[in-house]
Chains A and B, each alone.
Chain A
Amino acid sequence: MSAPKSSRALQRGALGMVLLVVAWEGVARGFNLPAYTLPSVSAILGSIFDHRSTLFLAGAYTFAEALSGYVIGALIGIGLAVVITLIPMTRNAIVPVATSINSVPVVAWSPLILLWFGIGMPSKVVMVALAVSFTVFLSALAGLDRVDRRSVDLMRSFGAGRLAILFRLRLPTALPLIAAGLRVSTVRAVIVAIVTEMLGAYDGLGWVIYQAVLQVDFVKVWSAIFIASAASLAFFGLVGLAERRLVFWK
């Protein structure tokens, strides 16, 4: 991607966001909507400023949970896919079990996870890892399987072992798909951390949201959402940046 082109994309993206914000502000003010229906963007920004220290601390807490869970989940996901590729007979054991675990919505596991891992950070990290690992696993597996069989045969005919094939051929080929999975998972990581916090926690953005709903402070709910959104986006951008570097290498 050339520099002027990407800067144009950035401009357009920013323009899209600005249009959305303007439309939102216009609707909220024009129809004079009450805060419990839709507060205006300016009111939300004001509330963010008022609660900046609370929101910043809560955001940092949630981000720490999301990041730890994300790293663990990504390692598990890629690890499992690699294991399956190296030892094909494990596929029929791992895939169905992983699928059944994943087919249960992560939120459904939360009461059990909270029961097993307590109400603090560990339960959120486990939940995020659970959510992330499958997404990454599926992408990684699809990527590793995508390799042209003839290339595998060719490498093998030169005496390359499974590990060599994995590192030289399969992983580089799988990289774009793994990266896509990793990118999609960033946002999920933050959301799952927040949702779990809302079901049982005493810190983080989810807790702030839960408290604010009980106190009928909808502007504060939106403020927390904005912070969550910003955290997710930063996370997404960071992984995207890393992806671009890695895919360049390919």
Chain B
Amino acid sequence: MSAATLQSPAARPGTSPLVTALFRAVRGLATLLAVLAAVEGLVVVLNVKPWYVPRPTLVLNAILATPEPYVQGFLRTLTETLMGFTSGAIFGVGIAIVFFRARVLRELIFPVFVVSQTIPVIAFGALVVLWFGNTLIAKAAISFYLTFFPVTVNALLGLESVDPRQEALMRSFGASRFQLLTRLQLPAALPQIFVALRLASALSLVGAIVGEWFGDTVGLGVLLLQGMYNENVVAIWAAIAMCALLGTGFYAVVAAAERALVFWGAEQ
């Protein structure tokens, strides 16, 4: 068996990245549709009660009946997610560089970070409202809080994985610390950072949604909560579907950025 047949089609050399991306998207969509059709069929055939699993078409109808809150909720949650993700990613990488450079700070602060991550934010709904009010910032702050830590951990891991010989080589050519960082260490850490960013894309969404549980009027989290409380399983699934759409889309964007950037990183 040749090596080429073992590779996934996406990795086959000679195909343009755009075609590959399209291929992946179509493939994913087809899988999704097949799964949905299967669920629809199973629910009808097995006569599953709608309060366990509703038919996917029922869920779709619910969204189409009142599209406005779903669209608004999607956009609002997206904004919060992006705010939290961006700030979390920047802070995460930034603090990783600081920790990497200053071991004292790392040893002093890292444990505090670890401890901070062990606190379930949901227990402090009232505190979040007290500190940040009913603003977008409050949601973004929770999103940030969930996002930055994995990024810090992985970025640090990536920075430390740099081959000391390469570092010595660059130093011998008179590279400055900044050059060392931008030319060698960060590119080397990029694959690790992106693993964390992909995780963070999901976590930042969790943060935004949980944040909306602390008394908000618009957002996917609000829709989820409303469905949950009214035991409206169709509404829960409709909200879950919107979350999935947002999450998958965001994840795909991050993954695409990874392919573009890490590919370049590997070329270095």
Contact = CB atoms under 8 A, between A and B. Distances in A.
Nearest to B198: A138
B127 to A, nearest CB: 8
A46 interface: no
Contact of A36 (B114, B126, B195, B244): B126
A37 B234 CA distance: 38
A108 B224 contact: yes
A99 B251 contact: yes
A104 B240 contact: yes
B35 to A, nearest CB: 7
B31 A104 contact: no
Interface stretch (A53-61, A75-83, A191-199): A191-199
Interface stretch (B2-10, B68-76, B162-170): B2-10
Nearest to A197: B120
Contacts of A213: 123, 126
A149 B44 CA distance: 48
Contacts, number: 158
Given A12-B104, A16-B107, A93-B31, A138 B120 contact: no
A47 to B, nearest CB: 15
Interface in A103-146: 103-112, 115-116, 134-135, 138-139, 142, 146
A210 to B, nearest CB: 9
B118 A191 contact: yes
A65 B108 CA distance: 32
A151 to B, nearest CB: 12
Interface in A175-197: 176-177, 180, 183-184, 187, 190-191, 194-195
A105 B206 contact: yes
A238 interface: no
A139 B240 contact: no
A242 to B, nearest CB: 17
Interface in B228-268: 228, 233, 236, 239-240, 243-244, 246-248, 250-251
What DSSP secondary structure best describes chain A's contact surface?
helix
Interface string A90-101: 011100110111
A153 B107 contact: no
A194 B6 contact: no
B226 to A, nearest CB: 11
Contacts of B175: none
A109 B3 contact: no
A177 B192 CA distance: 8
A103 B233 CA distance: 19
Given A104-B243, A236-B114, A12 B107 contact: yes
A97 B244 contact: no
A17 B202 contact: no
A221 B123 contact: yes
Interface residues of B, number: 59
A32 interface: no
B108 A88 contact: no
Given A13-B107, A15-B108, A229-B118, A115 B243 contact: no
Given A103-B247, A104-B240, A104-B243, A180 B154 contact: yes
Interface size class of A (residues with CB under 8 A): 35 or more
A103 B118 contact: no
A209 interface: yes
B248 A103 contact: yes
B111 A16 contact: yes
Nearest to A192: B120
13 contacts: A12-B107, A89-B8, A99-B247, A103-B248, A103-B250, A104-B244, A104-B247, A105-B205, A105-B247, A107-B122, A107-B210, A115-B51, A194-B123
Given A12-B107, A177-B195, 18 more contacts: A12-B108, A13-B110, A13-B111, A37-B127, A88-B7, A100-B32, A100-B244, A100-B248, A103-B251, A104-B247, A105-B247, A108-B243, A138-B195, A152-B3, A176-B157, A180-B154, A195-B120, A228-B120
10 tightest A-B CB contacts, nearest first: A103-B247, A12-B107, A232-B118, A13-B111, A105-B206, A96-B28, A16-B108, A229-B118, A111-B228, A9-B107
Interface of A: 8-9, 12-17, 19-20, 36-38, 88-89, 91-93, 96-97, 99-112, 115-116, 134-135, 138-139, 142, 146, 149, 152-153, 156, 176-177, 180, 183-184, 187, 190-191, 194-195, 198, 206, 209, 213, 221, 224-225, 228-229, 232-233, 236
